Chains A and B, each alone.
Chain A
Amino acid sequence: MKNIIVFIIKNKSFFLFILLETISLFFVFNNNYYQKSYYISSTNNITGYIYKISSNISGYFQLKQTNKTLARENAKLLSLKKNSFLINNKYDSIYKQQYLYIPARIISNTTNKRNNYLMLNKGRNSGIKKDMGVVCQNGVIGIVKDVSDNFSSVISILHSKLKISAAIKKNNQIGTLEWDGKNYRTGVLNYIPTHVNISVGDTIITSGYSFIFPKGIPIGKISKFKIKKGKNFYDIDIIFFTDYNKISYVYIINNILKKEQLDLQTKSQNE
């Protein structure tokens, strides 16, 4: 027994090393579990405020760009207004709203890691919940991972574990959009069967088959594609419409009917 104690004291720095590495590994692999929720509510508020100050400053440098995108977006919305249509029969008896949009500002964002996250300046107090989708005018940003009272952290589309159901606009062929980690401007579209006709420049949109994103949000366009021998699916590379390094304002999507959809799904799966 004495020998063991002497051994430990003699090699105390080595044991400290092992201990600290174990703690780190524990954090790495438990990132999704309980202490995460504790961590998010206590620490995120502090980190959130620091990021907010920093983004308040850097926001000034992007004002011009932001104004331009907002103006473009306004023009698009104006063209959708009631008086822009010759015949307006939108107010049918079956007309019902499904998606609500909540605007938010990005206060921290990375694009240079393999797994990227963003932080937004709105949280639980603004009605944001876990698993809501986040989009911008010309692209999908990600999915809300955690919320605290005033902030929410979002898994970026530039993340190894996020896969989004996407479709080719012209023929509605469904595939899965992923990020391969090479460049933040490009991604890959998988599971498009080889019998489908595609060409460079085809637009990729969200499919609307998940409960998170509505159909038809533009994501990117095909930059190149090839067929590997013996495979049934294309290898498609796409270019995102959005420069994820430059966005500053986003919309969080609240799917009002999500609960109903999920209930129905579980019901039919259980039978």
Chain B
Amino acid sequence: MNKYLKYIFLFFFLIFFQILILNNIEISGYINPYFYIIFILILPIETPKWLLLISGFLLGFGIDIFSNTLGLNAFATVLVSFMRPVIINLLINKNDLENIKIPGIKSFRFLTFFIYSLILILIHNFTLFYFDSMKINEFFQTFTKALSSSVITLVLVILSDFLFSKRY
């Protein structure tokens, strides 16, 4: 019970944090961290696939409602939640996986967690930015934007895992 409450609290906290604070941050017109995706990254390993997908959809949709981009964030987050088990299976072998409860630097070790977050964040940001732009002649411009905000998001995710990983 307590565990579920924690995640529900985190869910709403991340949505409001994204909407009210992170969406107002902007460096040179390029970088805007999409930190809320950390919710999908740190859900317990044992979370069933359907629950991952549903929570991804709700998370993305929550962001969409506030930012007038109906369906855009939902599409990207559902894609990330679908890819998550695939990436985990690729990076970690089954025997090790049995001992791991929650993805994090401690449980995954730094390099694996770094690659795991990097891949999922890249998927998320590139879908988001290309879907938003939808113009071939802005290909490279969108590329730099997506890449730079992926880097910032990744830094935030790694940092917050360092800071808060003991608590959940």
- Which A positions have Cβ atoms within 8 angstroms of B? 12-13, 16-17, 20-21, 23-29, 31, 36, 39, 43, 47, 50-51, 54, 108, 110-115, 117, 119, 153, 160, 180-185, 245
Contacts of A28 in B (CB 8 A): 70-72, 75, 131
The answer to whether B65 and A160 have CB atoms under 8 Å apart is no
User: In the complex the two chains form, is A114's CB within 8 Å of B132's CB?
Assistant: yes
- A53 to chain B: closest residue by CB: B20
Asked whether, in the complex, the Cβ of B71 is within 8 Å of the Cβ of A111, the reply is no
Interface positions of B from 40 to 59, Cβ below 8 Å from A:
48-50, 53-54, 56-57
- CA separation between A51 and B56, bound complex, in Å? 23
Contacting pair A113 B132 (CB below 8 A): yes
Complex: how many Å from CA A224 to CA B1?
62
Contacts of B134 in A (CB 8 A): 160
- List of B residues within 8 angstroms of A26 by Cβ: 71
Chain B contact patch, size range: 35 or more
Report the separation of the CA atoms of residues A8 and B160 in the bound assembly, to the nearest whole angstrom. Answer: 39
Q: Are A110 and B70 in contact (CB under 8 A)?
A: no
Query: Chain B residues with Cβ under 8 A from A21's Cβ?
Result: 75, 78-79
Contact status B20-A54, CB under 8 Å: yes
Complex Cα distance A16/B53, Å? Answer: 8
CA distance in complex: A36, B65 (Å):
11
Expressed in whole angstroms, the minimum distance between the Cβ of B133 and any Cβ of chain A is 5
Which positions 122-168 of chain B face chain A at CB distance < 8 Å? 129, 131-135, 138, 141-142
- The answer for the CA separation of A108 and B21 in the assembled complex, in Å, is 11
Q: Which B residues have a C-beta under 8 Å from some C-beta of A?
A: 16, 20, 23, 26, 28-29, 31-32, 48-50, 53-54, 56-57, 60, 64-72, 74-75, 78-79, 82, 129, 131-135, 138, 141-142
**In the complex, are the beta carbons of A25 and B71 less than 8 A apart?**
yes
**Are the CB atoms of B78 and A24 closer together than 8 Å?**
yes
Asked whether, in the complex, the Cβ of A183 is within 8 Å of the Cβ of B69, the reply is no
In the complex, the answer to whether A13 meets B49 with C-beta atoms within 8 Å is: yes
Q: A112 near B32 (CB under 8 angstroms)?
A: yes
Cβ-defined contact, A181 with B141, below 8 A: yes
Which residues of the partner chain B approach A245 to less than 8 Å between Cβ atoms? 26
Distance in angstroms from A101 CB to nearest chain B CB is 25
Across the interface, which residues of A come within 8 angstroms of B56, CB to CB? 20
Known contacts A20-B57, A183-B29, A185-B29: does B133 contact A160 (CB below 8 Å)? yes
Q: Contact at A12–B70, with CB atoms within 8 Å?
A: no
- Flag if B79 contacts A27 (CB, 8 Å): no
User: In the complex, A28→B61 CA distance in Å?
Assistant: 11
Q: List 11 A-B contacts (CB under 8 A).
A: A16-B50, A20-B53, A23-B57, A23-B71, A24-B74, A31-B71, A36-B70, A39-B70, A114-B138, A117-B68, A185-B29
Q: Are A112 and B29 in contact (CB under 8 A)?
A: yes
Contact residue among B48, B68, B133 (Cβ-Cβ distance under 8 Å from A153): B68
A17 to B53, CA, bound (A): 7
* A28-B70, A31-B70, A54-B20 given; 18 more Cβ-contact pairs under 8 Å: A13-B53, A16-B54, A17-B53, A21-B79, A23-B57, A25-B71, A25-B75, A28-B71, A110-B67, A112-B32, A113-B67, A114-B129, A114-B133, A117-B67, A117-B68, A119-B68, A181-B142, A183-B29
Give the chain A neighbours of B70 by CB distance below 8 A: 27-28, 31, 36, 39
Complex: A182 Cα to B140 Cα, angstroms = 11
Instruction: Please give, as numbers and ranges, the residues of chain B lying within 8 Å of A31 by CB-CB distance.
Output: 70-71
Give A13 to B85 CA distance when docked, in angstroms: 11
Nearest 5 Cβ contacts at the A-B interface: A27-B71, A13-B49, A28-B71, A24-B75, A117-B68
- Whether B133 lies near A112 (C-beta < 8 A) is no
Residue among A12, A16, A23, A24 facing the most chain B CB atoms (10 A cut-off): A24
A50 partner residues in chain B, CB cutoff 8 A: 16, 66
